[in-house]
Amino acid sequence: MSAAAIFGGPGPQWFSIPAHRPFAEDLARGLWEALIAEGPEALAQAVVLTPTRRGARALSDAFLKAAGTRALLPPQILPLGDLDEGEPPFEPGDLALDLPAAIDPLRRRFELTGLVKAHEGLLSRELDAVAALELADALGGFLDSLQIEEISAADGLAELVEDDLAEHWRISRTFLEAALEDWPRRLAELGLVDVSQRRVQLLRALAEKWTAEPPSGRLLAAGSTGTAPATADLLAVIARAPQGCVVLPGLDEHLADSAWAQVEEQHPQGAMKRLLDRAGIERGEVAVWPASRPHLQLGHWRRRVINEALRPAEATADWLNVIGELAGEGPGQPGVTIARGFEGMSLVSARSEEEAATVASLLLREALETPGMTAALVSPDQALSRRVAARLARWGIAPDSSAGEALAGRRCGVLAHLLARAAADPLDPVLLLGLLKHPFTRLGLSRELLEALAVALEENGLRGARPQSWEALERRLAGKGADACDLSVRLRAALEGLTAPFLDGPARPAAAAEALARAMEAFAAD
């Protein structure tokens, strides 16, 4: 494969990697095969833009796999942005110098909380700290959506809420009107802008620069569907560059033209249809990525069945003709053709989440034990994913979760949660035992001694009616062994610092957080 097959063709260069192919691996292998013949510097001088930093890391790993045992100078892999993780957007050279700095996400959250609290009168209710934070987060997401889509909502709010709707709609509109007026003023006072707004401005500036002065080097944008208008316009500029191209993820080339014309935003292909329409590109002008072409026949019938199943609702009236067309594409009767699309697919009806997690974990373990096989669990249910991960952990398997792991599910998070509860009720017997059995708890003792003393404390001090004070607990332990009394004293000393900020009522968040951190250090001592 030559570089001319990817870069420098007549007209805009648009490619797609089929949905059944590993996107990062095919992309890396295609670039490697196209540029390595020109020397290692050709690949190193190319620039690849990915939607997120996670995508950039995955592509870096894929280049190492594509190179095999050969030394590799990978291309420059840069993320266009990753708002979901609060990471800074891609800043192309000196274009960012004329733009205000972006507000820190944490500061933005508390600034919005203050704004919400200041306008609680418009909501006809008093907001506590938790409610104000929740409403501030919702307001921040609303502002991000407006800025990314480059929509001005101030003019449309009055038309959004009609007079005959419920009163709470009018209250929400009044609050949003005030917030949309005050938030830009507050940002101007700080000399800052929102991260999403700055990202849009950067992408717009970059598109203008590359339109006026197209980059001469190899430039590739991969994996983005251009859901934001600024990103879509930048992708169109990249595709028109002399040595540029765009690689889309999983464009459906088999969907009938009549059905494609009816694809709307809610459809899985809706974002890519809007991108192509905005760029003035017909779907037939998008070529299959060269490295993916040899594998098009793998899973062909599965893809055809899925494509037809994902037809827009308005295009499903002729489903009998569609079945006939499927039969005409391959040998056999319609039922045989469709059955080939379902080969290897299984359906398991689980009676509970526990059973579903067990089945999924067993299938993943079976794949791991089969040489050359890979497997992935795709689920919108994070609870199910955690159950499966817990079962795999019993077999010493640590799956790589793209969703990450919640702090509350990690050992340090569990310890912080137990101690936060202990601030309200430090003598809860169940809570004390949970703290003592936590794997990070030491209290200055060895793990073996701590476990033995915890058993003595439970048997002699915590069973029966719960103690009402530390003194009462120590009286129970008197005469039952000095070691158990010593453990009680250590517990009391560690927890008294935790409850101290609350002796005179509610504590300042900073003081409570500092006390929690010191208590965690005391429990994990040595």
* Rounded-to-integer distance, Cα 208 and Cα 223, Å: 22
**Is residue 157 very low, low, confident or very high in pLDDT (cuts 50, 70, 90)?**
low
Note whether 359 and 348 are within 8 A (CB): yes
Note whether 470 and 427 are within 8 A (CB): yes
pLDDT of residue 202: 86
What does the domain layout of the chain look like in residue ranges? 3-88+199-295, 104-193, 302-341, 353-405, 410-523
Fold of 3-88+199-295: Rossmann fold (3.40.50)
Chain centroid to CA 79: how far?
15
Number of H helices and E strands in the chain, helices first, is 22, 8
**Is residue 85 very low, low, confident or very high in pLDDT (cuts 50, 70, 90)?**
very low
220 forms beta bridges with 48, 245
Cα dist from 218 to 25, 243, 416, whole Å: 19, 5, 50
CA dihedral 254, 256, 257, 259 (to 10 degrees): -120
φ and ψ at residue 299, rounded to 5 degrees: 70, 25
pLDDT of residue 332: 55
pLDDT of residue 87: 40
- pLDDT above 90: residue 246: yes
Sign of CA dihedral 286, 279, 4, 78: negative
* Rounded-to-integer distance, Cα 196 and Cα 237, Å: 21
pTM of the predicted model as reported, rounded to 2 decimal places? 0.75
* Rounded-to-integer distance, Cα 51 and Cα 486, Å: 57
| Most confident residue range from 106-120, 201-215, 367-381, 447-461 | 106-120
Coil, strand, or helix at residue 24? helix
pLDDT of residue 362: 95
The angle that helices 429-437 and 482-499 make with each other, rounded to 10 degrees, is 100
For 508, counting Cβ atoms within 10 Å of its Cβ (0-12 exposed, 13-18 middle, 19+ buried), the class is: exposed
Residue that wins the pLDDT comparison between 163 and 215? 215
Note whether 522 and 422 are within 8 A (CB): no
User: What per-residue string of b and e applies to 404-442 under the rule 16 or more CB within 10 Å gives b?
Assistant: eeeeeeeeeebbbebbeebbeebbbbebbebbbebeebb
